[in-house]
């Protein structure tokens, strides 16, 4: 995959000026037996699910969008009930690392969330993202209705026609069935471990790339 517009030098420059990842502002998430509990959305909220490589970066990308109230890392797309991180990493669960996004549709639409998702990872790569290879890192956009399916297709077609990728989008479209939350240690990992070499080398560029392409969707407090 090559970007038509996003030069690696831009990434380097942004890394130099934005060396610090967000600190604090950790989400208040309930847990049980080491796993995060999945809350029900409030009346004013809707829920969406996306898988795009390691959920540490994807969770942060979604959290920085305006109108997003909460993002939980977990697993979806497979058949194994109540998987652990090790089971998913082993590649036999069928699940992909996935995030569940709670958002206010009056502030950000499902279409805008989907657009941000496609810029938060490389949707042209099959079964992996950069150094993370395997089905558990594949790209999936989940839909809960026919309208959401059409919206995802619309965004995919738009990116294929006018987007920054030189290869076609290969993201799976999958009907949502169930989402299993990940262990509490994986929630807000990006913010808790900002000096982790993996976060700085792999995750930070993904977040900066998303903010570069859809800055108008990002909460202003993350654009400094």
3-class secondary-structure state, position 222: helix
> Torsion-angle region of residue 25: left (phi > 0), alpha (psi -120 to 50) or beta?
left
Alpha-carbon span 161 to 139, nearest angstrom: 19
**Number of residues written out for the chain:** 224
Question: 54 catalytic, yes or no?
Answer: yes
Q: Which residues contact 75 (CB under 8 A, 6 or more apart)?
A: 83, 88, 93, 95, 96, 97, 98, 179, 180, 182
Alpha-carbon span 48 to 109, nearest angstrom: 10
Which residue of the set 7, 18, 54, 61 is catalytic? 54
**What DSSP element (H or E) covers 79?**
none
| DSSP output for 130-160 | TTEESGGG-EEEEESSHHHHHHHHHHHHHHH
Beta strand residue intervals within 8-57, DSSP E: 31-32, 35-36, 46-52
Task: Report the catalytic residues.
Answer: 54
């Amino acid at each position: 995959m090559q970007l038509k517009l996003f030069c690696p030098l831009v990434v380097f420059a942004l890394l130099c000026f934005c060396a610090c990842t967000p600190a604090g502002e950790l989400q208040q998430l309930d847990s049980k037996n080491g796993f995060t509990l999945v809350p029900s959305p409030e009346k004013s909220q809707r829920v969406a699910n996306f898988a795009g490589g390691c959920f540490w970066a994807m969770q942060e990308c979604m959290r920085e969008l305006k109108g997003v109230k909460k993002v939980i890392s977990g697993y979806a797309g497979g058949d194994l009930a109540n998987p652990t991180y090790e089971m998913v990493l082993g590649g036999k669960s069928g699940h992909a690392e996935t995030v569940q996004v709670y958002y206010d549709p009056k502030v950000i639409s499902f279409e805008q969330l989907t657009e941000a998702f496609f810029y938060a990872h490389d949707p042209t790569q099959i079964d992996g993202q950069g150094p993370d290879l395997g089905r558990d890192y594949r790209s999936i956009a989940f839909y809960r209705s026919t309208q959401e399916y059409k919206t995802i297709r619309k965004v995919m077609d738009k990116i294929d026609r006018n987007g920054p990728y030189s290869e076609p989008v290969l993201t799976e479209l999958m009907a949502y069935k169930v989402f299993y939350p990940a262990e509490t240690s994986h929630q807000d990992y990006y913010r808790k471990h900002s000096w982790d070499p993996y976060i700085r080398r792999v995750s930070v560029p993904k977040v900066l790339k998303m903010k570069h392409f859809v800055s108008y969707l990002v909460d202003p407090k993350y654009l400094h």
